[in-house]
Structure 1
Amino acid sequence: MPCYTSYDGVELSYRVLEGPEPGAPLLCLAGGPGRDAAYLGDLGGLDAHRTLVIPDSRGTGASPPAPDAAGYAFPALAEDLESLRAHLGLEAFALLAHDAACATAQAYAALYGHRLTRLVLVTPGSRLQGRLPDDAEEIFESRAEEPWWPDAYVAVHTLPTATDMNEVRSLLLRAAPMAYGRWDAPQRTHAATEPAQLGPVPRAGFWQGVDEPARTALLDRLPEVTCPVLVITGDRDALAGLRAGELVATSFRTASVRTLHGVGHYPWVDEPDLFRPVVESFLTRGHDPEAHEGDGTGGVGGGA
């Protein structure tokens, strides 16, 4: 597995996926936080026309633990990404991030926005923006007639008090159906990998050590990002919801939002043939004709 030397001298790993027609590189960040990037797979076949470069963040996959807890925080992970860019010899590149890694991507954009040609944020939360909309709970409640729902409901409401990591992993698996647009074989197979892929130490350190002034300074720089930004949400995402993605989009002047129907938190698992063309079109053209476009001041305007 290839490695690169990061800013502090630590060797970190990454993998490269190339299909039959490899194209320009797309760097892809896994969320969790602290989850092994293997769960991204090939992102619904995005490697067919792109060279996917997928790093293992510190303490996950083949990458070693961070020397200290600060190395797990998302701004530090953004510095790892910059080291990877330099290692690959890229003057500029397209970046895709999923879930919590969207915070890492936003930190990178704030610091190194001139290095980005396109930015895709897939089902992000809005913790970085300081607001947690409640529509994810509304989406969850709307699915109460599905057979998995009662057990998932118990698991969701037990998780906040769980302290043992084995219990947490078991509860996450019971709650997993809420993260998908439907609960069929591909979704079950994908969900079954999560408990073993979560790293408790990287997970705990991801949001630590970022004080309010630093967070505000980061957000203040996002409107300066000039590359096109696409935020992808799923209308059945009971983890992040829809409004969080809309809030993230308002942090940029160049962002649009595309909501995929029948899709949960992992669009490439639920509807790969819907997700893949949306991303490919955006990477090629720099816009998604069916997205809600920003209004030029960071807002999300009229719709598709």
Structure 2
Amino acid sequence: MTFFTAPDGTRLAHRVIGSGAPLLCVPGGPADSAYLGDLGGLTAHRTLVVPDLRGTGASARPADPATYRCDRLVDDIEALRAHLGLERIELLGHSAGANVAVQYAARHPHRVARLALVTPGLRAVGIDVPAEVRLALARRRAHEPWFPAAFAALEAINDGTGADWEAVAPFWYGRWDEAARRHHAASRPDNPEAVAGFGAEGAFTPAATRAALARLASPVLVLAGELDLNSPPSAVAGLAAWVSDATFPVQPGAGHYPWLDDPARFVATVAAFLGASRA
């Protein structure tokens, strides 16, 4: 781990792995960035610069909990860019981290060379996913042995009678195998204050963010997983539609972590978008 100091004095950590030109990867959660791993082997094409968001992983907890807010995290990404000495960055955001990435692109468009949004969270652009969409997508997994219990828990969450998020975990993966179970166990957020603060009042200005994305001159990859209940392809398509220069692939058979479900396909898609290394 390498450390740098945020504008408010919080000590933040980031790891650097791989080879080639740098790709700054914003994790979701907010959770320890270790769950991203090497993004399925993307390290063969890019040097991944992966920060631990404040209050997660090896990064310190801030003195002011209000700085956990999604829009405030943009300042940490900008501080990391400056720390790295990069005029422009290739930026990737996964899940909730995509909310940070799109707000960074909206605020600092001249700093973004390329933007990759992987199974993105959609709160920053104001897209809500109806319960019926999630349920319909979930029913496609009805042939899998874990389905009855997981689907019952999902229905209970959607109608407000339950909150057993552990029971629905198989839906986040294209394959609920031992590797997926290990990944899930290791990737759960462990700082409730950071999770609660991320979406606090004022964290998102969807209309302004959508307008900024429409003006963004940089190419944008918006990658959805075919089976992803968190960010269903039909909803992610709405985000892609607001981007002036968007590429919108849907990875077959993938859930919320497409680099685990089919690493070769994921890496080929992202590497093709990023193009040749400029190390």
When normalised by structure 1's length, the TM-score is 0.84
Within a 5 Å distance, the mapping from 1:111-260 to structure 2 comes to 111-134=107-130, 135-159=133-157, 171-195=164-188, 197-210=189-202, 214-260=205-251
For CA contacts below 8 A with separation 6 or more, give which structure has more relative contact order.
2
Aligned to 2:269: 278
The match for 1:23 among 17, 20, 30 is: 20
1:106-154: CA deviation from partner (whole Å, max 9, x where unpaired): 1000011111111100011322222323333211122122111122123
1:171-200: CA deviation from partner (whole Å, max 9, x where unpaired): 3332111011121222222122134x4321
Say whether 1:90 aligns with 2:86.
Answer: yes
Q: Tell me, what secondary structure is at the counterpart of 2:40?
A: coil
The number of equivalent residue pairs is: 274
Q: Tell me, what secondary structure is at the counterpart of 2:139?
A: helix
Asked if 2 retains the 8 angstrom alpha-carbon contact of 1:30 and 1:97, the reply is yes
Q: Residue type matched to 2:142 in 1?
A: A
Quote the Cα distance in structure 1 between the aligned partners of 2:78 and 2:86. Answer: 10
Aligned to 1:55: 51
Q: Displacement, 1:46?
A: 0.7
1:61-117: CA deviation from partner (whole Å, max 9, x where unpaired): 011112223211111111100000000000011111100111100100001111111
Q: Residue type matched to 1:29 in 2?
A: V
Classify 1:275/1:184 alpha carbon distance in 2 versus 1 (closer, same or farther; 3 Å).
same
Q: Displacement, 1:157?
A: 4.3
Asked if 1 retains the 8 angstrom alpha-carbon contact of 2:97 and 2:121, the reply is no
Q: Displacement, 1:162?
A: 9.0
Quote the Cα distance in structure 2 between the aligned partners of 1:177 and 1:162. Answer: 20
Asked if 2 retains the 8 angstrom alpha-carbon contact of 1:70 and 1:209, the reply is no
Quote the Cα distance in structure 1 between the aligned partners of 2:178 and 2:23. Answer: 28
Quote the Cα distance in structure 1 between the aligned partners of 2:129 and 2:149. Answer: 24
- For structure 1, the 5+ residue unaligned runs are 287-304
User: Bigger shift: 265-274 or 2-11?
Assistant: 2-11
Q: Tell me, what secondary structure is at the counterpart of 1:209?
A: coil
Q: Residue type matched to 1:148 in 2?
A: W
Asked if 1 retains the 8 angstrom alpha-carbon contact of 2:3 and 2:14, the reply is yes
Asked if 2 retains the 8 angstrom alpha-carbon contact of 1:29 and 1:96, the reply is yes
Q: Displacement, 1:285?
A: 6.5
What percent identity do the matched residue pairs reach? 43
Classify 1:211/1:121 alpha carbon distance in 2 versus 1 (closer, same or farther; 3 Å).
closer
When normalised by structure 2's length, the TM-score is 0.91
Q: Displacement, 1:49?
A: 2.2
Asked if 1 retains the 8 angstrom alpha-carbon contact of 2:26 and 2:94, the reply is yes
Q: Displacement, 1:229?
A: 0.1
Aligned to 1:302: none
The match for 1:102 among 68, 83, 98 is: 98
Asked if 2 retains the 8 angstrom alpha-carbon contact of 1:223 and 1:253, the reply is yes
Quote the Cα distance in structure 1 between the aligned partners of 2:196 and 2:155. Answer: 20
Quote the Cα distance in structure 2 between the aligned partners of 1:209 and 1:37. Answer: 25
Q: Tell me, what secondary structure is at the counterpart of 2:15?
A: strand
Asked if 2 retains the 8 angstrom alpha-carbon contact of 1:124 and 1:244, the reply is no
Aligned to 2:10: 10
Asked if 2 retains the 8 angstrom alpha-carbon contact of 1:136 and 1:242, the reply is no
User: Bigger shift: 264-273 or 175-184?
Assistant: 175-184
The match for 1:41 among 37, 56, 61 is: 37
User: Bigger shift: 141-150 or 265-274?
Assistant: 141-150
